[in-house]
Amino acid sequence: MTTVTTNTVDVPDFIEMTPAKCAWCRASIGLSYNGIAHEDNEDLVAWCSGSKECRERQLRWAIKEDLPSGVVHWLFLPTPKQVICMEAPERNLFVWGNRGGGKSFCFRWFCHAMSLAKPGFKYAILRTKFPELEINHLNFLNDEMAKFGPENKSQYHKTSHTCFYPNGSIGYYRQCENDDDVKKILGAEVDLLVFDEAPTFRWDHMRLIGGSVRKKRGRKHSVKVRYLGNPTGESIDELWSYFIDKDVITDDTGDDDDLCDPEYDPADWANIEMRLEDNPYLDYAEYRKQFAGIAKHIRKAWQDGVRAEERALFEFYPRIWDDEKGEMIPYHVVDELPRLADDTPIIEYDAETGSYKKPAWVQVYRAYDHGFSPDPAVVLWFAIVGRLIICFKEQFWKRTIAEDIAKECVEESKGLDVVDTYCDPTIDIKTGNSVYTTLQVFENNKMPMNPMKNDRALFCDVIHRILGEEIGPNQPRIVFYSRGCPQLIKHLPRQKWDEHDTTKMAEHKHDHAPVALAYFAESHVPITKPGEARKIRKWMVKKKKKGMVH
């Protein structure tokens, strides 16, 4: 047997390279023996294989024990992604992703590391259910605390579920499910507060506890609150608003006073996605098999790390798992617009002319859902490239009259040669003393429209169909450009089926872009081909006026 010098930052003797990548240099993460190098030793540690600097950074947060034989044994050696989470400076951090990323394990050992490094450090780890607290944390504490010093100085107290460290640091492990549990924790004097599986907590409970933790005067480090979990649960809407979308209203001018938080500063609320694919210790393919038979919305959150609603209506997948590549790949959402075989952009904006450029055979359509206040008006733009549909642009208006929307929309469509615009049929009905219908106002301002059906059962069918179609393996019929239509991407997966009629899409305060998508999906979407420009039909050609000389 030989000892392994993994207490240095020299390149370790790797026994296996994993698919996981270093979060800093993107080199592969390798596994080496922990302590004694022997084939029967199943205790392995993960190191960045590419950079000495990366391994040094891992070492800063590591916890080791020196065995009597003189061999170094690592109790905790964080992966690069775990180090990034531990070093985050923001007061509030949401660490989210699919299951298997090592979130709970990482932050328990982060608490150990901080407690051992800083005398008098105090932390609290909370979960809503005691059995989950026990399975994920308490069952390990007796053995872990025994490694940090003699029993009379380092111990886990099973009755109070409290850890006492040799240097006076203390860790509290508590259940927090109801109002009585919250009262027991309010005003806790801790340096670090961890909500494990945060989406399962009530949002008001977390904010009451998180807002009341405080530190003593003279302590150099600030209080930090960490929220861990998969993207599904009771408080996922609020977590997403504060940490991901950062769309919390900070004054009373918004439409939803419940989301008003005058003290909200987006800079204080950070998020890091920690995925199964970042964990070098798990067999990804084997681990994913355990999700068979689980409810669809839970499987999306646990397996794919996609935010999911319990009554989620549509099968919308920003990314999917590719078995051949062994990684997540873009699916319904793309960060770059596809290019043609000769690397020609499908659509590009020319700032000098203030118009778009595209190949003549690529067809562009629009879809419009009407609104004024508080509901917005919305227009979506779609490019048809062969069989592929790209939703590449969106625009919203509030408190804007139809004439101004039409003019702006025409200006925003320069160079696109829009084929048609699909809309809500109710805008072709006269209201009040108006001379023209809203549709006629649009058409009088050079924006002709084609009314579709306003039917929420039909909306379900057509959106399901267009999202479910594929033009090739792992190639959906429709994709959404992340920088062009962020609001549609954000709100489409949040649509739910109607509780009173499951064939219908429920009313939702943010359903306007999805409704516009439905109007487009109701249409007959053509298939375009290179070299075949759009044919101009007779009815589309302006008639010559009698007596005019040409």
Q: What pLDDT is recorded for position 336?
A: 94
Question: Could you tell me which residues are beta bridge partners of residue 171?
Answer: 123, 163
Contacts of 385 (CB under 8 A, 6+ apart): 338, 340, 346, 362, 528
- Answer for the pair 177, 185: CB distance below 8 angstroms, yes or no: no
Q: What span, in angstroms and rounded, lies between the C-alpha atoms of 78 and 379? A: 47
Residue 462 has pLDDT above 50, yes or no: yes
Residue 542 has pLDDT above 60, yes or no: no
Peptide bond into 374 cis (omega under 30): yes
Which domains are present in the chain? 2-78 (no CATH), 88-290 (3.40.50.300), 333-522 (3.30.420.280)
What's the rounded mean pLDDT across residues 101-127? 96
> Across all residues in the chain, what is the average pLDDT?
89
Q: What span, in angstroms and rounded, lies between the C-alpha atoms of 39 and 408? A: 70
What's the rounded mean pLDDT across residues 430-447? 91
| pLDDT interval class at 29 (50, 70, 90) | very high
Q: What pLDDT is recorded for position 3?
A: 30
Identity of the amino acid at 100? G
Q: What pLDDT is recorded for position 69?
A: 79
Q: How many residues does the chain have?
A: 550
Q: What is the pLDDT of residues 467-525, one digit of tens each?
A: 999 999 999 999 999 999 999 999 999 999 998 998 999 999 999 999 999 999 999 99
Residue 433 has pLDDT above 80, yes or no: no
- Answer for the pair 529, 341: CB distance below 8 angstroms, yes or no: no
Residue 253 has pLDDT above 60, yes or no: no
- The torsion region of residue 102 among left (phi > 0), alpha (psi -120 to 50) and beta comes to left
Q: What pLDDT is recorded for position 532?
A: 73
Sign of the C-alpha dihedral computed for residues 76, 80, 82 and 85 taken in this order: positive
| pLDDT interval class at 250 (50, 70, 90) | confident
Extended beta strands in 34-111, E state: 36-37, 44-48, 63-66, 72-76, 92-96
Residue 4 has pLDDT above 60, yes or no: no
Note the pTM of the prediction, 2 decimals. 0.81
Q: Higher-confidence residue: 5 or 458? A: 458
The gap from C-alpha 500 to its chain's centroid, in whole angstroms, comes to: 30
Alpha carbon separation from 525 to 237, 316, 522 (Å, rounded):
34, 20, 9
| pLDDT interval class at 1 (50, 70, 90) | very low
Identity of the amino acid at 221? H
Question: Three-class SS string for 200-240?
Answer: HCCHHHHHHHHHHCCCCCCCCCCCEEEEEECCCCCCHHHHH
DSSP result, 386-432: TTEEEEEEEEEESS--HHHHHHHHHHHTTTS---EEEE-GGGGS--T
Q: What span, in angstroms and rounded, lies between the C-alpha atoms of 34 and 19? A: 20
Q: What pLDDT is recorded for position 516?
A: 98
